[in-house]
Structure 1
């Protein structure tokens, strides 16, 4: 009988120890999660841009990804002049901007070729607020701790030495609520394609006409393509800012009629609308007037 009491006592003691151990493990997990989240103030861990092969910021921050079209802005400038396409071998200043006055923010950006390999090289010009990181064999740029107080960051990017077709900058931004937790942040991803100046005249794969329809705030696109594949539309203002980007899905070779509604009211004026089919780009100027 005494042996039974002793055995039961051992079981009860073990249960209590497991209970305390479980609670301690839960607290340790909570501490680790919070510390990991705080560590991200020093920059993205990499591979969070939403580009092919990448994840996104929801790997560390709860919530769903939202479209960054019109909110995330990427501008390339050369000698102070904004450009909408690149010259091989040329170095450009890249400006990443979030359309917000939020107090604490972050970003990660990567440039990819049509085959989703790294395109060009980045160079840091503001070491206080930005840094490069590597993930998946690709170099990226992200914020540093001091840079979280900004809504705009700049750095240099040198285009590939030869024309490799349309290069797409994949950008993820994080508009945080500064609660030292992984909840309540707003993650936005966007794509910003730039064609090659060397290849614009040579491209014979697609033809298009584009008209703006004021009553629906939309672009009507008549497309004649010799290739099939995904269609991207990128609207750039005359200041060189990408103000709208949308993936319209896949089209077959031949004629297509497409329509895309802009998700914001743009100011009246002339805009450059880039349309690409399977990374073959054509650009048209469109006058928006409401």
Structure 2
């Protein structure tokens, strides 16, 4: 029995050392991942149409951040003029001692509109991906609940510009569980000259477009005005994560249109985006299903 004692001790030491090394490696990888996201999320995490959001890494379900966050904009009447630079800031009212965000500016075609620029490099930084530019917090900026930056408006009128953003209220446990992700958006309109103005087809469509959802009938009711008699329009329904849930084309007439869209599956509670593709334009509306 004494002869077996020494090999047994060696074998036990081997398993203990091996377990420690494996756990140390996992710990290092885990910390590297957390350090990376503390310094800003990867691109395309704003929850904008076609994009993911931060729940891919922070788990849970995204919340509506409309009432707990706001964007300040230095332009008059919530309107932009082509080529002008505007001071902006994103503020959250329900932050913790460690927070993060990502924001992007899209036109109605979900393409970058204008240019976001960093004015506070200590607390914010630029990240790019899929041809788009975003602003994130830095590791120093996680202690903030307000982040400032500039936006240079497009060189020409591209119609309404929507700022989509996601923000993360963390529990500071250096893990993905227990954090709260919020999504929201704010739209800035182009400046309109009140003298001799004739609305463009896009502006007519954007101002007239409205969506209602009937849970009883599982239908979308679209109302809009078209200045061009396109042969058809396309409606797409997106989840809050940017996934296309439903797509359908339909005939469109000149003037006022009322279109009933029968959905294939009932919608569960949540926030959805309905986009109408018509006359080479895209307009969108958010709906909330209770």
Q: Give the TM bin, normalised by the shorter chain.
A: 0.5 to 0.7
Between 169-178 and 138-147, the greater mean CA deviation after superposition:
138-147
Cα 1:84–1:179 change in 2 (3 A) is same
Could you list the per-position Cα deviations for residues 34-67 of structure 1 after superposition, in whole angstroms to 9, with x for gaps in the alignment? 3311332222232211223432212321222222
In 2, Cα distance between the equivalents of 1:183 and 1:200?
Answer: 52
Other-structure match for 1:60? 57
- Give, in angstroms, the shift of residue 114 of structure 1: 2.0
Could you list the per-position Cα deviations for residues 112-131 of structure 1 after superposition, in whole angstroms to 9, with x for gaps in the alignment? 22222221112211122111
Q: CA RMSD in A?
A: 3.7
In 2, Cα distance between the equivalents of 1:196 and 1:209?
Answer: 17
Q: Unpaired segments of 5 or more residues in structure 1?
A: 1-12, 211-220, 233-248, 258-262, 264-274, 283-290
Which of 64, 69, 93 matches 1:99? Answer: 93
- Give, in angstroms, the shift of residue 193 of structure 1: 2.3
**Contact 1:208/1:222, CA 8 A, preserved across alignment:** no
Q: How does 1:122-161 map to 2 (within 5 A)?
A: 122-161=116-155
Indicate whether 1:70 and 2:73 are aligned: no
TM-score of the superposition, structure 2-length normalised? Answer: 0.64
TM-score of the superposition, structure 1-length normalised? Answer: 0.64
Indicate whether 1:204 and 2:207 are aligned: no
**Contact 2:204/2:225, CA 8 A, preserved across alignment:** no
Could you list the per-position Cα deviations for residues 161-200 of structure 1 after superposition, in whole angstroms to 9, with x for gaps in the alignment? 0112222211010001111222211011222222322599
Other-structure match for 1:255? 258
Q: Unpaired segments of 5 or more residues in structure 2?
A: 1-10, 211-220, 227-232, 239-245, 261-269, 286-290
In 2, Cα distance between the equivalents of 1:162 and 1:128?
Answer: 32
- Tell me how many residue pairs correspond in the alignment: 227
SS at match of 2:36: helix
**Contact 1:171/1:190, CA 8 A, preserved across alignment:** yes
Q: How does 1:22-101 map to 2 (within 5 A)?
A: 24-25=21-22, 27-78=24-75, 81=76, 83-101=77-95
SS at match of 2:58: coil
In 2, Cα distance between the equivalents of 1:84 and 1:229?
Answer: 28
